Amino acid sequence: MGVNPRSVLLGSALLCLCLVGTVQAQRSSITIPDLKNSSHVGVGYTAHIPTNFLGFSALYVTPKLLGGFGVYIDARFETRSLTDDPGYLPGVTVQEAEVTNADFLFEQSSEWSTVDVGLVYAVSQELAVYGGAGYTRERHYREYWDASETLGNLGFYLVDDPAASGNRVNVIGGALIRLTRYTLFQLGLGSKPPGATVGVMLVLPH
List the chain domain ranges: 5-205
Residue 200 burial (C-beta neighbours within 10 Å; 0-12, 13-18, 19+): middle
Distance, in Å, from the CA atom of 33 to the CA atom of 122, rounded to the nearest integer, reads 12
Distance, in Å, from the CA atom of 78 to the CA atom of 76, rounded to the nearest integer, reads 7
pLDDT in tens, 190-200: 999 999 999 99
Task: Give me the pLDDT at residue 206, please.
Answer: 80
Tell me the three state secondary structure of residue 32. Answer: coil
pLDDT in tens, 94-112: 999 999 999 999 999 999 9
Task: Give me the pLDDT at residue 106, please.
Answer: 96
